[in-house]
Chain A
Amino acid sequence: MTEVFGVPLLALLGQLLLGLVNGSFYALLSLGLAIIFGMLNIINFAHGAFYMMGAFAAWMLLAYFDVSYFSAMILAPVLVGTVGILMERLLLKRLHRLDPLYGLLLTFGLALILEGLFLNQFGVSGETYDVPDALGGAIDLGFMGVPKYRLWVVGVSTLVCLATWLVIEKTRLGSYLRAATENPQLTQAFGINVPLLVMLTYGFGVGLAALAGVMAAPIFQVSPLMGSNLIIVVFAVVVIGGMGSILGAILSGLALGVVEGLTKVYYPEASATVVFVIMAIVLILRPAGLFGKES
């Protein structure tokens, strides 16, 4: 059997794919954080809670209303996104023009509330969500079997991320968004409804987190704490990538997922900390982040 640095090739490829799956979630979440930060100038601490809510929304839709996985992929982000929009309208909007740290604190409080409510309702252990039948099983590549569902997650996330990037960089709507990010007052003066854009951006970013949650549901246990542990790693990803560029957020998310997967193969003890170590190294060498602009 072929080995790479003493590890069987198949095990390595398996972990690489799993790393890509994790990386897809990092990418979706850091992309949402980046566009929300661009528009609202806040770091959304509740992002992990919305990811968790996406997973629970999918589970509840299936358990109570018999809604399939594929419909949940649309419905859950819309539902959770609506919750996000309500929060932006009712709460976040009041912090406009204040120090962005207050936005971080407010969303931290919201994350505690959401997490606590779900914890109270569902307990720590959480629920299981089965892989939909159409995506079950594995594709036989001759030398190894690849679980279909993992390929699906990587494929869908990459598509969604690229589509988001295209919309922001290449369309008229995207140009409004970029203008409002650059200078909200001037954009407003040109007759563009900036508060509406801000609201929709927040809803969309939250929706991306919920979509990641729906796709994560069959892979991980659907549990109230699934978001908070992930979001801290995503923060590190955001620091590594720098929030200046959309593409940077996507690429660093995927790349760090892969690095984490490789660490699981070669030095499993460090797999939980490797992203933070990379963050420390990046901060020493390039404080603005790999894709960030020096201010």
Chain B
Amino acid sequence: MTLRPALLGMALLAGVLAPTMLYPVLLMKVLCFAIFASAFNLLLGYVGLLSFGHAAFFGGAAYVTGYLMRDAGWGPLSGVLAGTLSATVLGWCVGKLAIRRQGIYFAMITLALAQMLYFICLELPQTGGEDGLQGIPRGTLAGLDLSNDLTLYYVILGASVLVFALLHRTIHSPFGRVLTAIRENEPRAISLGYDVARYKLLAFVLSATLSGLAGALKVLVFKFATLTDAHWHMSGDVVLMTILGGMGTVPGPMVGAALIVSLEDQLADKVGSLVTVILGGVFVLCVLLFRRGIVGEMTGFWQRLLGQRNSSRI
């Protein structure tokens, strides 16, 4: 356990120094998706609920933030907060409906409701149809000019650290323990007197809210909100990131997000539409060969190694 503060410090230092070596926009994209995947992981990894509609919260918040900042003249802070709040409200509505069913029905319901939001984004007069919202200004935050990539990077890094701390705190709180209990054995959690539906809904809303924050921050980075953000491919991407990195672990989704974002970045101009094929292949491999994900498998390996050493000592 003495390892942990050192590792955390190193990760933080790497985050602060990263833009000296890597392109800040790519790093910001990684951070946004790391928030998104971590929020998604709260639901899949700790409550055992597979949502196939998280693009709705990501994309919905992106549209709200984009619209408010470009057409209503809101600043970045109020814009991002309003976008996030819209995801909270949407998350409450979707969650309320979806938690009525379990397992694969839950996945299908969230997917269908997200597709509904996709069509709404396509057809509303405010959302720019097929083009989406382009040319959204970044604005200034407390005197800081966010049009500078490096400034924005540190703002988003700060936000990410806060989100990761919040998620870590949630997962290791009594509330988080109840969530895990529901994942492991729902009837038992019910018989212990926990109002399972309320816990599920609260976790869903929290997950949706943070997914919305990720979408809203993504608007600041790229200055646009498009249908891609709300498409079901996006929901699939976040599932893949979480599973590849390792669901049910705190660093897993971050690792997965970093890998998938850089993979897409490297491949996009080389193989064109075959990116989808490669992502699908990674999906299949993950499900067939290492269901615990990279972080999960590594932890398992590490524990086996320690276990062997301990047993040989005895």
Residues of A that sit less than 8 Å from B by CB: 42-43, 91, 94-95, 100-102, 104-106, 108-117, 119-120, 228, 232-233, 235-236, 238-239, 269, 272-273, 275-277, 279-280, 283-284, 287
CA distance A115 to B111 in the complex (A): 18
CA distance A110 to B285 in the complex (A): 11
Give residues 88-140 of B contacting A (CB, 8 Å).
Answer: 97, 100-101, 103-105, 107-109, 111-113, 115-116, 119-120, 122-123
In the assembled complex, B275 has its CB within 8 A of some CB on chain A: yes
CA distance A43 to B108 in the complex (A): 9
For chains A and B in complex, what number of residue pairs have CB atoms within 8 angstroms? 115
Say which residue of B101, B104, B275, B287 sits within 8 Å of A283 (CB atoms): B101
Q: How far is the CB of A126 from chain B (nearest CB, A)?
A: 13
Q: For A116, what are the chain B residues with a Cβ–Cβ distance below 8 Å?
A: 273-277, 280
Q: For B119, what are the chain A residues with a Cβ–Cβ distance below 8 Å?
A: 272-273
Interface pair B280/A236, CB less than 8 Å apart: no
Interface pair B97/A112, CB less than 8 Å apart: no
Contacts beyond the supplied A120-B274, A273-B120, A287-B100: 10 A-B pairs with Cβ under 8 Å: A101-B104, A104-B104, A105-B283, A106-B284, A109-B280, A110-B280, A111-B280, A112-B277, A113-B280, A232-B111
Give residues 27-70 of B contacting A (CB, 8 Å).
Answer: 50
Closest 4 CB pairs of A and B: A109-B283, A112-B280, A116-B276, A116-B277
Interface pair B50/A284, CB less than 8 Å apart: no
* B103 to chain A: closest residue by CB: A100
CA distance A237 to B295 in the complex (A): 38
Interface of B is mostly: helix
Interface pair A110/B284, CB less than 8 Å apart: yes
* A124 to chain B: closest residue by CB: B273
15 pairs, CB–CB < 8 Å, chain A vs chain B: A95-B288, A102-B287, A105-B50, A106-B284, A110-B284, A116-B274, A116-B277, A120-B277, A232-B111, A236-B112, A239-B108, A276-B116, A277-B116, A283-B101, A287-B101
In the assembled complex, B260 has its CB within 8 A of some CB on chain A: no
CA distance A92 to B103 in the complex (A): 18
Q: For A110, what are the chain B residues with a Cβ–Cβ distance below 8 Å?
A: 280, 284
Q: How far is the CB of B151 from chain A (nearest CB, A)?
A: 37
Interface of A is mostly: helix
Known: A112-B283, A239-B105. A280 touches B277 (CB 8 A): no
Q: How far is the CB of A116 from chain B (nearest CB, A)?
A: 3
Interface pair B112/A276, CB less than 8 Å apart: yes
In the assembled complex, B239 has its CB within 8 A of some CB on chain A: yes
Interface pair A106/B287, CB less than 8 Å apart: yes
Interface pair A119/B100, CB less than 8 Å apart: no
Say which residue of A43, A102, A104, A119 sits within 8 Å of B276 (CB atoms): A119
Say which residue of A101, A275, A280 sits within 8 Å of B50 (CB atoms): A101
Interface pair B107/A104, CB less than 8 Å apart: yes
Interface pair A239/B288, CB less than 8 Å apart: no
CA distance A114 to B113 in the complex (A): 25
Known: A111-B280, A112-B236, A119-B273. A105 touches B243 (CB 8 A): yes
Report the interface size class on chain B: 35 or more
* B105 to chain A: closest residue by CB: A239
Q: How far is the CB of B277 from chain A (nearest CB, A)?
A: 4
Q: How far is the CB of B118 from chain A (nearest CB, A)?
A: 9
CA distance A43 to B50 in the complex (A): 13
* B102 to chain A: closest residue by CB: A295
Interface pair B288/A94, CB less than 8 Å apart: yes
Known: A116-B274, A116-B280, A228-B232. A101 touches B112 (CB 8 A): no
Known: A91-B288, A283-B97. A112 touches B104 (CB 8 A): no
Q: How far is the CB of A221 from chain B (nearest CB, A)?
A: 17
Interface pair B272/A109, CB less than 8 Å apart: no
Say which residue of A91, A101, A232, A277 sits within 8 Å of B284 (CB atoms): A91
**0/1 string, B273-304, CB within 8 A of A gives 1:** 11111011111101110010000000000000
CA distance A241 to B266 in the complex (A): 44
Q: For B97, what are the chain A residues with a Cβ–Cβ distance below 8 Å?
A: 280, 283-284
Q: How far is the CB of A276 from chain B (nearest CB, A)?
A: 4
Known: A283-B100, A284-B97. A273 touches B281 (CB 8 A): no
Say which residue of A42, A94, A100, A239 sits within 8 Å of B112 (CB atoms): A239
Q: How far is the CB of B216 from chain A (nearest CB, A)?
A: 24
Interface pair A102/B112, CB less than 8 Å apart: no
CA distance A42 to B108 in the complex (A): 12
* A117 to chain B: closest residue by CB: B277
CA distance A119 to B276 in the complex (A): 9
Interface pair B112/A279, CB less than 8 Å apart: yes
Interface pair A239/B279, CB less than 8 Å apart: no
Could you say which of A104, A238, A269 has the most chain B C-beta atoms within 10 Å of its C-beta?
Answer: A104
* A106 to chain B: closest residue by CB: B287
Q: For A42, what are the chain B residues with a Cβ–Cβ distance below 8 Å?
A: 104
Q: For A114, what are the chain B residues with a Cβ–Cβ distance below 8 Å?
A: 280
Say which residue of B100, B111, B274, B287 sits within 8 Å of A235 (CB atoms): B111
CA distance A239 to B112 in the complex (A): 9
Interface pair B112/A232, CB less than 8 Å apart: yes
Q: For B286, what are the chain A residues with a Cβ–Cβ distance below 8 Å?
A: 105, 109
